[in-house]
Chain A
Amino acid sequence: MRIGQNPAKSIDYVPQPARVTVALITYIPFLSGYYAQSLEVLKLCLQSLAQDASVPFDLMVFDNASCLEVRNYLLDCQTNGQIQYLVLSDKNVGKGGGWNFIFQAAPGETVAYADSDILFRPGWLSESLAILEAFPQAGMVTARPMRSPEAYYTTTLEWAQQYGGAKGGVELEQGNFIPWEVYLEHVTSLGTSEEQARQWYESRSDWRVKSLGVSAIIGAAHFQFTVRKAAIRPFLPFHMDRPMGQVRTLDEQMNQAGLLRLSTCQPLVKHLGNTLPFVAGGAANGTGLNPSLAAQSPVRGPRRGGAIALQRFYDLPWVKKILLRLYDRIFRLYH
């Protein structure tokens, strides 16, 4: 039975949500193999996020059933106030399930989503918001210039061509607006060789669009983007039955719905992947972040003949296939 009045009734003020909710999804099921450095990468991600206080935001983290060490770290961050909303899911509901939760529950009117392996550079959020302001038709804005597949920005291009010129107030240019170093930084973070990257870079060009004095590169990516909740709501819920690999749905839907897919002209976020960035001298990539988070060099020393031969053996397609299957089976056994 209730005795006395619930003191909660006397609370005459509850904090109102910030205009922007920054949301991350974490999934680090163990700290070995592919995920050996993922916790350190996550720390770097959150540390870089905390450095830019130019735009107030609430941080929401949706943990998709990570291991205990990662959860404890996130709980510590929640306790010390770095994370405002921490969602611990007992099961991996997939990236789609995480997105469904985030984009429906986030209290901010704008949501800046990022995978948990992203390094944020100063100004990333303010620049993204400036583009959203200057382009009211914008759907998603990524905070680094992207050369994403053309099929996913046909609507953006059509819109820019339609409103281009003095009449429409939109300027559209084609050229090489993404410097080679910026392009290389991203594609190599995905595990692409420099040779392959050079081929891709030389085979394409960029579209740059300008409105109300704000420039943006056409194209966006789903590893990090800022979106108005009202813009993404019609696409929810996403029906994705696998943890990953179906996220292109969002890109397709945005394009089909006539929403613009844009990115900043400067690389204000960096995809870290599953390994820590390395820079000679040990500093964490010139970001001003804690040097203790700098990685050991991923480049190995000179190899002996036996090791080279063994690596070549591992690289044989059929050997690699067997090893990957074994790796996958072990992963499935535990997760």
Chain B
Amino acid sequence: MRIGANPAKAGLPAYVPQELGVALITYIPLLEGYFKNSLEILTYQLQSLRASTTVPFDLLIFDNGSCPEAVAQLKTWQAEQKIDWLVLSKHNLGKAGAWNWIFAAMPNELICYADSDVLFRPGWLEASQAILQAFPQAGMVAAQPNFYDVLEGQGQAQQVLKDQAGYEWREYWPDKAVIDEFCLGIAASPEVAAPFYQKPLPVVVRLSAVHDGNQAVVGASHMQFIIPRAVARQVTPLPATRGLLRTETMALDNRVDQLGFLHLSTTQPYVFHMGNTLNERLLVEVRKVIKQDLAPRAITPTDQPVNRSWLYRGLSWLASQPRCKPRLMRVYNLLFQVLYTERK
């Protein structure tokens, strides 16, 4: 039975969420292979987020069934009050499944989503908000120029904008350094990278007394973006049947577009995709933001050839052969599934 009065009923104020909420999804099932540096990268991400965000914000981390070591680190950060809301899911609900939680439940007016391998630079929020203010029809605004328009220029919301007065469409040629950095983040091969240097990006310019000249690249990436809560609430539930399926994550873009909201991004890169490995070149960028002395990192094989044994070189050559690579990848994925994923 209840004895006495619950002190919580004494009129204490409840916590009022900040206007900005930042949400990350973590999935680090092991600290080996692809995920070897993931925890360290996440650490830099959180440090850069704190260092580059000028307004108070609430941080939510949705952990999608990571390994005990990763969960222990998240718990430690939560105990140190570095995470406002920590969601621990027993199962991996997939990226879209976690989005369903985040977009349905984050109480903040403005929600920023980022993968757990993104470096935030100063000005990311201001630049994103400037676009949101200049283009009230914006649903998603990314803080890095968008090089892949998942809607392939066919977004309905874009078409509507093209017919409206007060907007001008132009071509935008990003600096070579911007393209270099983008290609580095996705580890683009020369063949994949080449078109990015040869094709301009479409930008839309706002012509108005207040926002005159504000421009944005058309399109936004899934890696990082801000989305007003009012839009986020309308896009869920998204289909979520796989761990990371392009058609499921693209459902977000399609819903946003069908609702008549634009995908836009900044013309300069205020966020940087760190990916899953760290090398000295990346750490230079990290140091610029978090202003800490980080131990120099051995240059990875991607930057400089390393002397390997003849056996390794022979196997490496074999593995790179078109007939071998798909088979080895299949084995690799099979091993991952056997070791780390749930079965029906």
Contacts and interface: CB of A to CB of B under 8 A. Distances in A.
- Tell me, yes or no, whether A binds B: yes
Contacts of B88: 75, 78, 85-88
Interface residues of A, number: 69
Contact of A11 (B4, B94, B273, B300): B94
A244 B10 CA distance: 8
B274 to A, nearest CB: 7
A5 B341 CA distance: 16
A244 B8 contact: yes
Contact of B187 (A3, A242, A332, A335): A3
B176 interface: no
B81 interface: yes
Nearest to A191: B2
A6 B244 contact: yes
A12 B277 contact: no
B93 A7 contact: no
Interface string B230-270: 00010000001111110000000000000000000000000
B307 to A, nearest CB: 20
B2 A2 contact: no
Interface in A4-57: 4-17, 27, 33-34
Interface in B125-170: none
B17 interface: yes
B3 A1 contact: no
Interface residue SS majority, chain A: loop
Nearest to A14: B94
Given A2-B276, A3-B275, A11-B243, A101 B105 contact: yes
B5 A34 contact: yes
A14 B91 contact: yes
Nearest to A72: B75
Contact of B101 (A81, A83, A105): A105
A88 B344 contact: no
Nearest to A15: B91
A7 B336 contact: yes
Given A100-B107, A275-B3, A1 B243 contact: no
Contacts of B6: 34, 244, 274
A298 B3 contact: yes
B86 interface: yes
A188 B85 contact: no
Nearest to B336: A7
Interface in B275-333: 275-277, 279, 282, 300, 302, 329, 332-333
B186 A272 contact: no
A107 interface: yes
Contact of A189 (B1, B15, B92, B333): B1
Given A7-B34, A9-B243, A190 B2 contact: yes
B343 A1 contact: no
Nearest to B102: A105
Contacts of B275: 1-3
Nearest to B68: A79
Contacts of A89: 84-85
A9 B246 CA distance: 9
A1 B185 contact: yes
A14 B92 contact: yes
A74 to B, nearest CB: 9
Nearest to B344: A13
A12 B29 CA distance: 16
B4 A274 contact: yes
A169 interface: no
Contacts of B90: 78, 81, 83-85
A11 B244 CA distance: 7
Contact of A3 (B101, B233, B277, B329): B277
A27 B1 CA distance: 17
Interface in A63-100: 68, 75, 78-79, 81, 83-94, 96-97, 100
Q: Which 3 A-B pairs have the closest CB atoms?
A: A11-B243, A94-B14, A273-B2
Interface of B: 1-17, 27, 29, 33-34, 68, 75, 78-79, 81, 83-95, 97, 100-101, 104-105, 107, 117, 184-187, 233, 240-245, 273-277, 279, 282, 300, 302, 329, 332-333, 336-337, 340-344
17 contacts: A1-B277, A3-B34, A78-B90, A86-B87, A87-B87, A90-B84, A92-B8, A92-B12, A105-B100, A189-B1, A190-B1, A191-B3, A242-B14, A273-B1, A275-B1, A275-B3, A298-B3
Given A79-B68, A107-B97, 19 more contacts: A1-B187, A1-B273, A1-B277, A1-B282, A1-B302, A2-B117, A7-B33, A7-B336, A13-B344, A90-B85, A92-B12, A92-B14, A93-B15, A101-B107, A240-B14, A271-B2, A273-B3, A274-B4, A331-B12
